[in-house]
């Protein structure tokens, strides 16, 4: 189906249904949008056409989240998050700054009064999305603002306190794998990441090092006996070591930042 058909279908449904049916209308449209893709046609499209399509798709999702937020129910919000996660895994959104910023903007717009209670109910999914949206090779400015905005929202501090350790481990791994680290990545560490760490209690902060060690078991491959060469170089082990060192440095700098009360 032509993408524009969905756009017109959306307005038809909104005008032809009563208010108590509009939440179902939104849910149906979001399901359509999640399925709508050009994967089977990409060989016939140029790069600009692909970008234009995903720009249209994300703009429509953002329009729904902004203008119809009060009609987005629990199932609809889950569809939005699932769609954003699916899009964030695509190379187009990991390499194109404009497309990536659109996903960040949509996620920012989910932090509205009328959606916040539902957002708390889907917090593990939100945390997964935040992990995937962290792309060190892109400009991190808008992502850093997103994390700062979410972690400074009173109603979200408690769920962040519970789920932040998982997210921090994922972010530290990505930070440690970035070569060389960009200025925007360093700025994110000193603002967005510090804000995330501030939502955690002492026990949660102390668990990060252990979690990094545990997560490294899933990244380091199993080697047979003849692979254990003293001169062999295993990048995964370097990443593990760098992650632990980076976390200790980040935590030390966060403690200095907290006690000085600096930004």
Tell me how crowded residue 71 is: count the other CB atoms within 10 A of its CB: 17
Preceding omega of 257 cis (within 30 degrees of 0): no
Domain residue spans in the chain? 1-121, 134-222+232-263
Exposed (0-12), middle (13-18) or buried (19+): which is 140, by Cβ within 10 Å? Answer: buried
pTM for this predicted structure: 0.84
> Cα 221 vs. chain centroid, distance in angstroms?
26
Closest listed residue to residue 29, CA positions, set 48, 14, 44: 14
CB 132 within 8 A of CB 89: yes
List pLDDT tens digits, range 160-218. 999 999 999 999 999 998 888 789 999 999 999 999 999 999 999 999 988 888 876 65
CA nearest to 98, candidates 58, 136, 146: 58
Q: Both tokens of residue 77?
A: 């919000």
* Lowest-pLDDT choice from 55-64, 106-115, 230-239: 230-239
pLDDT digits (tens, 9 = 90+) for 98-126: 999 999 999 999 999 999 999 999 999 99
């Amino acid at each position: 189906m032509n993408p524009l058909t969905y756009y017109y279908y959306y307005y038809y449904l909104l005008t032809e249904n009563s208010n108590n049916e509009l939440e179902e209308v939104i849910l149906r449209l979001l399901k359509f949008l999640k399925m709508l893709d050009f994967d089977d046609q990409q060989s016939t499209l140029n790069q600009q056409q692909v970008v234009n399509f995903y720009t249209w798709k994300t703009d429509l999702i953002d329009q729904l989240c902004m203008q119809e937020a009060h009609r987005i129910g629990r199932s609809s919000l889950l569809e939005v998050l699932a769609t954003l996660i699916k899009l964030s895994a695509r190379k187009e959104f990991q390499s194109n700054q404009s497309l990536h910023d659109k996903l960040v903007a949509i996620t920012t717009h989910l932090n509205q009064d009328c959606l916040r209670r539902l957002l708390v109910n889907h917090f593990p999914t939100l945390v997964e999305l935040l992990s995937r949206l962290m792309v060190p090779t892109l400009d991190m400015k808008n992502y850093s603002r997103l994390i700062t905005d979410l972690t400074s929202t009173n109603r979200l501090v408690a769920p962040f306190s519970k789920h932040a350790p998982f997210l921090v481990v994922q972010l530290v791994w990505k930070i440690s794998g970035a070569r060389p680290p960009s200025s925007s990545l360093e700025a994110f560490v000193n603002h967005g990441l510090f804000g995330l760490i501030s939502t955690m209690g002492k026990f949660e902060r102390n668990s990060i090092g252990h979690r990094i060690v545990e997560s490294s078991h899933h990244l380091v491959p199993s080697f047979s006996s003849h692979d254990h060469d003293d001169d062999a170089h295993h990048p995964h082990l370097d990443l593990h070591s760098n992650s632990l060192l980076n976390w200790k440095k980040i935590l030390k700098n966060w403690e200095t930042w907290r006690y000085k009360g600096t930004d």
